[in-house]
Amino acid sequence: MYQKFNLDGVDIDWEYPGVQGAGNNQVSPQDSAHFLTFLQLLRSQLPKSARLTAATQVTPFAGPDGRPLKDVSAFAKVLDWILIMNYDIWGASPTPGPNAPLRDGCHNSTQPDASASASVAAWMAAGFPSSQITLGLPSYGYVQTSTAKALIQRRRIPGKLRVRQDEDDEVQAAGAGTVRVKGEGEGGDSGQVQFKQLIKAGALKINSNGNYVGAGGFSRLWDVCSSTPYLVSQNAKQVVAYDDPQSLGMKAAFARGAGLLGVNMFDVHGDTENWTLTDAIREGLGLV
């Protein structure tokens, strides 16, 4: 197939070796060892010019005990790069959390290993060079029916609510001008929602400074702990955890500062016609 279609290479997305991914996969303690053997065989059959890559979870491949391997340097010898899928950390839930945290900035996350900074550090500590790591960035988020006023699926520090609200959000009277955001994949008002769909639904608008702020009854808030935005509508009883130009630009700048090979957005279809997200990522990478 590689030769037939004149491909650049082969990318493997196994979710995940040694760890349950979809919920009904067969898992073996030898998954990661077998995966390495498979990659070595595949590499031996491909031309030297072919790229061989893999999409990974936020922690290194699992060992026989189910815990992340402490040494994955053998994988770095056969893979050109890995893509850390730092998204879907929390899905649609009445107790919403960030979809793609940059870091555990408040040191209170219930998933401290699941952030861009923690995942890159873990892979590098296990012997995977930063120059062979790309960071996955989402162009989507999750909408959920919820009365939460903050991203609450985390351990609370008494007296500290780490959020900021945009000053120029549209603040509406109860029931006035309320819009609802439809999610995909789970039916109803819950599930994934693309950035461009939030704009189309009227939950986001551009202010006079060129920034995206809440609209249609939604307030845009900033979760300081994860460095991600979210939308709250008390009228619609919805919370949307997502990423925008600000948060994606910060993640791209982090990737640049960490010496990563680059970033990957999943996927471009969620961006605007004017490439708003892509431009923010390029700026964060220092490409403009």
Query: For the segment 220-272, what is each residue's pLDDT rounded down to a tens digit?
Result: 999 999 999 999 998 999 999 999 999 999 999 999 999 999 999 999 999 99
Give the burial class of 237: count Cβ atoms within 10 A of its Cβ; 0-12 exposed, 13-18 middle, 19 or more buried. Answer: middle
Q: Give the mean pLDDT of 10-21.
A: 94
Indicate whether 2 pLDDT > 70: yes
How far is Cα 278 from Cα 108, in angstroms, rounded to an integer?
Answer: 31
How far is Cα 55 from Cα 16, in angstroms, rounded to an integer?
Answer: 9
Please, are residues 87 and 119 in contact by the beta-carbon 8 Å criterion? no
Q: Give the mean pLDDT of 127-140.
A: 99
Residue 237: predicted pLDDT: 92
pLDDT bracket for residue 168 (50, 70, 90): low
Rg of the chain, C-alpha, whole Å: 20
Query: What are the helix (H) ranges across 24-155?
Result: 31-45, 73-78, 116-125
Q: Give the mean pLDDT of 79-92.
A: 94
How far is Cα 279 from Cα 285, in angstroms, rounded to an integer?
Answer: 10
Residue 154: predicted pLDDT: 56
Indicate whether 171 pLDDT > 50: no
- Please, what is the Cα angle at 47 between 44 and 49, to 5 degrees? 125
Average pLDDT, the chain: 90
Indicate whether 177 pLDDT > 80: no
How far is Cα 75 from Cα 60, in angstroms, rounded to an integer?
Answer: 10
pTM, whole model, 2 decimals?
0.90
Token readout for 14 is: 């196994």
Indicate whether 172 pLDDT > 90: no
Other beta carbons less than 10 A from residue 217's beta carbon: 26
What three-state secondary structure class fits 116?
helix
How far is Cα 277 from Cα 116, in angstroms, rounded to an integer?
Answer: 18
* pLDDT tens-place string over residues 45-82: 999 999 999 999 999 999 999 999 999 999 999 999 99
Indicate whether 179 pLDDT > 90: no
Distance of CA 74 to the CA centre of its chain: 26
How far is Cα 254 from Cα 246, in angstroms, rounded to an integer?
Answer: 12
Residue 20: predicted pLDDT: 86
Beta bridge partners of 230: 221, 241
In the chain, where the domains are located: 9-139+245-284, 140-241
Residue 8: predicted pLDDT: 97
Question: What CATH fold (topology level) applies to the domain 9-139+245-284?
Answer: TIM Barrel (3.20.20)
Q: Give the mean pLDDT of 13-36.
A: 92
Q: Could you give the dihedral angle defined by the CA atoms of residues 100, 106, 107 and 111, in that order, rounded to the nearest 10 degrees?
A: -30
Residue 122: predicted pLDDT: 99
Q: Give the mean pLDDT of 192-200.
A: 95
Residue 275: predicted pLDDT: 98
pLDDT bracket for residue 173 (50, 70, 90): very low
Indicate whether 153 pLDDT > 70: no
Q: Could you give the dihedral angle defined by the CA atoms of residues 97, 102, 106 and 107, in that order, rounded to the nearest 10 degrees?
A: 90
